[in-house]
Structure 1
Amino acid sequence: MTLSRTFAGLCFALAGSSVAAQESDPIARGDYLVNTSGCHDCHTPWIMGANGPEPDTTRALSGHPADETIEAPAVVPEGWTMAANLTSTAWSGPWGVSFTANLTPDPETGVLRDMSETQFIETIRNGRHMGQGRPLLPPMPWPAYRNMTDADLAAIYAYLQQVTPIRNPVPEPLSPAQ
């Protein structure tokens, strides 16, 4: 057997064991889904690093930083749909300003603190806060995520319940400029 075939077999075996672990452990599956589905792209504030923008892992999944005040929608130039702030946690467009939620299990400021697994799944399925409230605002790609299985969404919920809680009150959305 050649070295490359041995290496390929080892990689396949490791990938297979990873998939098996995910199937038997919802938290491992949720970790995989959160880290491959772009959740950190918006829910983790970005900072300027040595090589450009990068996620601030000390504030992973904590949403829009409470200490960054935005009082009015940005003026979006003609031909543009939306604008994002420097941390990639506030988005301005025709809907006003949306702020990414704190997905950590902080008991005071985490959006999931009062949300059951069923409500979380319903939120993603129908694009409404708490499964029945106001519409989820752009850029939340819930129309794509709604295609995930109930098991995958439950795994994401389970994973988010055990990440490090970060106290970070996120503001409510701002209405469009009049």
Structure 2
Amino acid sequence: MNTAKSRCLGAIAIGAILLLPATLALAQTDSGSDVPAEVVERGRYIALTSGCNDCHTPNYGIAEGQVPEELWLTGDVLGWHGPWGTTYAPNLRLLAAELDEQQWVEMTHSLRARPPMPWFNLNAMSVEDAGALYHYIRSFESLGEPAPDYLPPGEMPAVPYVDFVLE
């Protein structure tokens, strides 16, 4: 084998060895259970394409989705104000840390929430997809603070908030 080819193969082997712990860490959730990397990646895909970040990641829409992944799903202080009062997107990392997978799946299938949360879409999510989303969220450390509490109709939120006018 020529020297250049040997060096290239050696570099690839060393790179693979160095990346192995990171790959294994990704597949192990905070809950301590080993989860196949494909399940975690499926959960990432679901979070990304289902619009979870739109509300549950600070400044995601303003930044056109260019928020570092390590900040995803940490909740937001942006209020959503309308006839129902003011709602805030909760920190999903803190929420998932309080639940096991079965509790998470049950929550996704029974949730009834105020706007703008599309709870009816979450209710329709398959058990497998809800579990994958859970494991993706749990692959991160619990980070951030709880979202502000819901405010009833007539109580004005502190800024910032989005005002939904329904006529």
Q: TM-score range by the shorter chain?
A: 0.5 to 0.7
Larger radius of gyration: 2
Q: Indicate the residue corresponding to 2:86 in structure 1.
A: 97
Is 1:152 equivalent to 2:136 in the alignment? no
The residue number in structure 2 matching 1:137 is 114
Question: Which residue identity lines up with residue 87 of structure 2 in the other structure?
Answer: S
The residue type paired with residue 111 of structure 1 is L
1:31 lines up with 2:44 in the alignment: yes
Unpaired runs of at least 5, structure 1: 1-22, 66-88, 105-109, 128-134
1:164–1:137 Cα change, 3 Å: same
Write out per-residue CA displacement over residues 28-55 of structure 1, whole angstroms, 9 at most, x where no aligned residue: 111111111101111011179xxx6434
> For 2:100 and 2:85, how far apart are their aligned partners in 1?
28
Give 1:59 deviation, angstroms: 3.0
Alignment of 1:100-139 (within 5 A): 100-104=89-93, 110-127=94-111, 135-139=112-116
Q: What residue is the counterpart of 1:177 in the other structure?
A: 154
Please report how far the alpha carbon of residue 161 of structure 1 lies from its aligned counterpart in structure 2 after TM superposition.
0.4
Considering fraction of residues, name the structure with more helix.
2
Equivalence map 1:52-91=2 (5 Å): 53-55=63-65, 56-57=67-68, 59-65=71-77, 89-91=78-80
TM-score where L is the length of structure 2: 0.62
How far apart are residue 24 of structure 1 and its match?
7.5
**1:111 Cα deviation from its structure 2 partner:** 1.7
Match of 2:26 in 1: none
Structure 2 letter corresponding to 1:62:
T
| Number of the residue aligned with 2:139 | 162
The one-character-per-residue Cα deviations of 1:84-121 (angstroms, maximum 9, x if unpaired) are xxxxx4211111111101112xxxxx122222222221
- CA distance in 1 between counterparts of 2:46 and 2:79 reads 23
CA distance in 2, matches of 1:139, 1:32: 21
Work out the CA distance in 1 between the residues paired with 2:83 and 2:103: 27
Question: Counterparts of 1:115 and 1:137 in 2: how far apart (Å)?
Answer: 21
Q: Equivalents in 2 of 1:116, 1:47: separation in Å?
A: 27
Identity level (%):
33
Over the residues paired in the alignment, what is the CA RMSD in angstroms? Answer: 2.4
Gaps of 5+ in 2: 1-35, 156-167
Length, aligned pairs only? 118
3-state SS, counterpart of residue 91 of structure 1: strand
Name the aligned partner's letter for residue 52 of structure 2.
Answer: C
Provide closer, same or farther for how the CA distance between residues 150 and 42 of structure 1 changes in structure 2, counting only shifts above 3 A: same
| TM-score when normalising by structure 1 | 0.58
